[in-house]
Amino acid sequence: MNEIKNKEIDNIPLKVYRKAVEYRTIKKKNTPSPWVEYWNLQPNLRKHNDPKSKVYIASVHAAEEILRGFSRKKAWDIKWIAKNNIPENVLYKPWAPAVVKRAIRVLNAMCEPGNWPGPGSWVARCSMADAFYNPRNCTSILVIARCSLRAKKFSDRVDELTWEKASPYAQTIAAPLKETGIEIRASVAESIAKQYNILCKNDPLLVHVSGGLEGFGRMLARWLLEQNITRPGFRVEPPHGYLWRKFCATFTNGD
């Protein structure tokens, strides 16, 4: 049945499909959506199985919105658009059903071993609705997937800051991480060093508690190992990365 529905999604004219979507939304609430079903077929992505749940309904609405094209009133992170070279037509013109499906498949491939960001990553944990558009940071990982021809290997990722150009502070804080086998990008180490200085300015006692930059690096390395995180690309980027905020809560509380 899934194969039949997926073929229907590919072949039906876009205008007719959008009208069908609107009719189904009004007349058949809480029924399985072919879009969420297709998402659920991807082995590496988060599953949504209850049509009555808020996350399932939000995912259906997200699919309907992208088929129409995002509203021009939708808020976007301008720096994110510039950094990723996102064309305007990708944001505001309707997406063809086959294009949406291909982007979902790229998302699934991004969560495979050896690809960025890899298995168990934030992409793998992301809901379908948030993957289509994340209102918390005004970005869309699905848009990134559409603009990519394939999932990127870690080796394909170009660091905007090389270790040769990194400051001594970044080198110092990264040394304990590298010694324990934890891979870290130069740009992330630079950000951590800057955030460490901010933390110490707010509370000078933290300098003595941490033992300086190198000691802080050892604390971070030990904490990451306790979290079983050693792979490259872990989301410890300050100041908004989930792991960074979690570590800082532990560090500043003296645990």
- Asked if 180 contacts 225 with a C-beta cutoff of 8 angstroms, the reply is yes
Distance of CA 241 to the CA centre of its chain: 11
- Contacts of 130 by beta carbon, 8 Å cutoff, 6+ apart: none
Residues 138, 248, single domain; the answer is: no
Residues 113, 216, single domain; the answer is: no
> Treating both helix axes as pointing N-terminal to C-terminal, what angle do 186-202 and 168-179 enclose, rounded to 10 degrees?
110
Q: Residue 195 — pLDDT band, cuts 50, 70, 90?
A: confident
Last residue of a domain, one of 129, 156, 183: 156
| pLDDT tens-digit series, residues 117-143 | 878 888 999 999 999 999 999 999 999
Residues 184, 122, single domain; the answer is: no
Range of the domain at 113: 2-156
Residues 15, 126, single domain; the answer is: yes
Residues 92, 27, single domain; the answer is: yes
Tell me, yes or no, whether 177 lies in a domain.
yes
| Average pLDDT of the segment spanning 97-106 | 92
Last residue of a domain, one of 102, 133, 156: 156
Residue 100: is its pLDDT beyond 50? yes
Task: Tell me which long-range contacts 52-55 makes (C-beta under 8 A, separation of at least 24).
Answer: 55/127, 55/128, 55/129
3-class DSSP state of 90:
helix
**Residues 214, 198: Cα–Cα separation, whole Å:** 16
- Contacts of 97 by beta carbon, 8 Å cutoff, 6+ apart: 9, 10, 12, 14, 17, 67
Residues 149, 58, single domain; the answer is: yes
| pLDDT tens-digit series, residues 15-24 | 544 544 444 4
**Residues 115, 98: Cα–Cα separation, whole Å:** 23
Residues 16, 114, single domain; the answer is: yes
3-class DSSP state of 139:
strand
Tell me, yes or no, whether 202 lies in a domain.
yes
| pLDDT tens-digit series, residues 48-75 | 999 999 999 999 999 999 999 998 889 9
Residues 115, 172, single domain; the answer is: no
Task: Say what the pTM is.
Answer: 0.55
pLDDT of res. 32: 85
Count of the separate structural domains present in the chain: 2
Give the mean pLDDT of the chain.
78
Residue 95: is its pLDDT beyond 50? yes
Tell me, yes or no, whether 162 lies in a domain.
no
Residues 78, 15, single domain; the answer is: yes
Reference 136, options 246, 40, 57, 242; nearest CA is: 242
- Contacts of 51 by beta carbon, 8 Å cutoff, 6+ apart: 30, 31, 32, 33, 36, 57
Residues 135, 222, single domain; the answer is: no
- Asked if 244 contacts 237 with a C-beta cutoff of 8 angstroms, the reply is yes
